[in-house]
Structure 1
Amino acid sequence: MSTTPYGTTHRATLRWQDAVVRSVRDETRSARTLRLELPTARPHLAGQHYVVRLTAPDGYTASRSYSVASAPADGFDEPPVGHIELTVERLADGEVSGYLCDVVEPGDELEVRGPIGGFFAWAGTSPALLVGGGSGVVPLMSMLRQARLTGRADLVRLVVSARSPQDLYYAEEIVGPQTTVLYTRQAPPGAGRAAGRLAVADLAGLVRGGEDVYVCGSPGFADAATAVLVEAGVPVPAIRVERFGPTG
């Protein structure tokens, strides 16, 4: 059976299963987190994703991929084993994201398959620099949560770029000594940095050398962040990039 680089299997994860929505909560004015209970618990790695498929009464289907925001559950109670959390950004005219953000309620069932992905996965045992823009912070939050839960928060440094405080995902939880929050359009009062795009000065002091670097966000953000990282001295082979497309 073929496997990902960290040993998760492809064959089982590509089978569809019906997950039950156990809770929902708003993250920002345009994003919502769904907690799903899976009938068959499947271990995931931080950075992996699930595919959600919707089927209309006439048989039309639409599916989208969403990163797992929760940490791998192995041995932890939050979320319980067999539960995952997906954070969904509501996109204009998004047929799947609109339904997940505005219609789905606890008790509903969603057809899902996963976890999927190996290139962008983090095993939680080696240093990592995480750079996310907007909703690109979702898989990186799984990595940060895992590091904190396992007592290895020293392994990660997270830089997240948001347009304004109102657009920051996981605002109450994400702050901490491992994280740097940058605002591109509106910084809160008393912020130590004026609003503006990611720059070399924002990352240079966080590059330790030898770590893997995970970049996630829109194509424009990912390309800009990669260029800044290279200028800050990070070797290109050390950078792993996940680009979020405009599909909804």
Structure 2
Amino acid sequence: MALIWQESRIVAAAPETPRVRRLTLAVGWDRPFRAGQHVDVRLTAPDGYQAQRSYSIASSPTRPEAIDLLIERLDDGEVSGFFSDVAEPGDAIELRGPIGGAFVWEPAQGGPLLLVGGGSGVVPLLAMLRHRAEAAPDVPALLLYSARTAADVIARDELIRRDAGEPGFGLRLALTREPGGRRIDAARIGEALAALGGPAHTFVCGSNPFVSAVSDLLVDAGVPAATIRTERFGGETP
């Protein structure tokens, strides 16, 4: 069934990091979304010019009446710039979704669950972690997350709180621009696997170079390629 464009309204907006803004949109879908899916948004200028972008859903499917989008402001980004600087609660936005069926996780799939995110590529992984905590807290999960600095870590306080107090969840941060920081490498992959054990499902999301490099490292570490699912987007590697 073809998806149609629908009007959605922004009901809340707040800064998430210096470059990322969280927008909550009311939706009226006739079916629930799944953790890992995304939406298309479309902006139309007064002269009829249109711009369309895809954004992953960050919130858990257990709250189907609204979705959270975490939108990173890109240099010269016409759509991300609008959402960062102009959009406010009450504004109507054209939206189409939910979209995607390969890069999704549901509680029935079980675990252990290894999630590897680079920069804003952590967004769909957050949806999976939030859904897991609410619907399948016994599933072991580990997030290996690469960001430039501590200030750039999306949902930092939440992730640190989950790591400290949520049984079965572990967080590993790779802060590439902090003193002594380094990118995700074979050693970090090995540490994550030693902490989690063999993952039944692995999800990797980030820029094209990030996803390619991490996927190769995972396979080299013995993770079966058939269990690795990836999602890529344009942008710099953190």
- TM-score normalized with structure 2 length: 0.89
Partner of 1:237: 226
Q: Does 1:206 align with 2:192?
A: yes
Percent identity reads 45
Q: Does 1:121 align with 2:110?
A: no
Partner of 1:83: 66
Partner of 2:153: 168
The whole-number CA distance in structure 2 between the counterparts of 1:195 and 1:210 is 26
Write the mapping of 1:7-156 to structure 2, written as runs, cut at 5 A.
10-11=1-2, 14-40=3-29, 42-73=31-62, 80-125=63-108, 126-127=110-111, 128-152=113-137, 154-156=139-141
The whole-number CA distance in structure 2 between the counterparts of 1:40 and 1:118 is 16
1:217 partner letter: G
2:98 partner letter: P
Shift of 1:42: 3.6
The whole-number CA distance in structure 2 between the counterparts of 1:81 and 1:168 is 26
Query: Is 1:17–1:112's contact at 8 Å kept on the other side of the alignment?
Result: yes
Query: Is 2:117–2:125's contact at 8 Å kept on the other side of the alignment?
Result: yes
Query: Is 2:207–2:234's contact at 8 Å kept on the other side of the alignment?
Result: yes
The whole-number CA distance in structure 2 between the counterparts of 1:153 and 1:103 is 41
Q: Does 1:196 align with 2:188?
A: no
Aligned length: 224
Shift of 1:155: 3.0
Mark the runs of 5 or more structure 1 residues left unpaired by the alignment.
Answer: 1-9, 74-79, 188-193
Mark the runs of 5 or more structure 2 residues left unpaired by the alignment.
Answer: 164-168
